[in-house]
Amino acid sequence: MDLAWMGWTTFTGTFLAVIASLLIAMTVWEIARPGGAPRKGLLGFTSTRGDRLFVTLLGSAFIHLAWMYFAGGVDLWWALGLSGLYGLAVFRWV
């Protein structure tokens, strides 16, 4: 199949591989320890592990977009670090 029209790059492939890995890891975690005990966190809504993963991915996208806008796309490693801290906070307190 010719996928040249999609403009695949190493970064795009890595991004999609990480998302797929996260989904696989969450599936394995759910199989190993079902339920995930929904809880009401800091934001005031009841969330499960999957909900928290979705909020983390969505927030990380906005962190990266803001970083590219305000920092001009320079040194995205800082945005990645902020996203990691944000993800830890979401899984801990949301």
Going by the DSSP 8-state scheme, the letter that residue 47 receives in this structure is: E
User: Regarding predicted confidence, which is higher, 8 or 25?
Assistant: 25
Average model confidence (pLDDT) across the chain: 87
Q: Are residues 70 and 85 in the same domain?
A: yes
Q: Are residues 23 and 48 in the same domain?
A: no
Query: What range does the domain containing 18 cover?
Result: 1-34
Q: Are residues 75 and 45 in the same domain?
A: yes
Q: Are residues 73 and 44 in the same domain?
A: yes
3-state class (DSSP) for residue 81: helix
Q: Are residues 45 and 91 in the same domain?
A: yes
Q: Provide the pLDDT for residue 41.
A: 86
Q: What is the pTM of this model?
A: 0.79
Is the pLDDT reported for residue 1 higher than 80? no
Is the pLDDT reported for residue 12 higher than 70? yes
Q: Provide the pLDDT for residue 3.
A: 64
Q: φ and ψ at 14, to 5 degrees?
A: -65, -45
Q: Are residues 51 and 26 in the same domain?
A: no
Q: φ and ψ at 46, to 5 degrees?
A: -75, 130
Provide the sign of the torsion angle of the four alpha carbons 42, 47, 51, 53, taken in this order: positive
Is the pLDDT reported for residue 67 higher than 70? yes
Give me the number of domains the chain comprises: 2
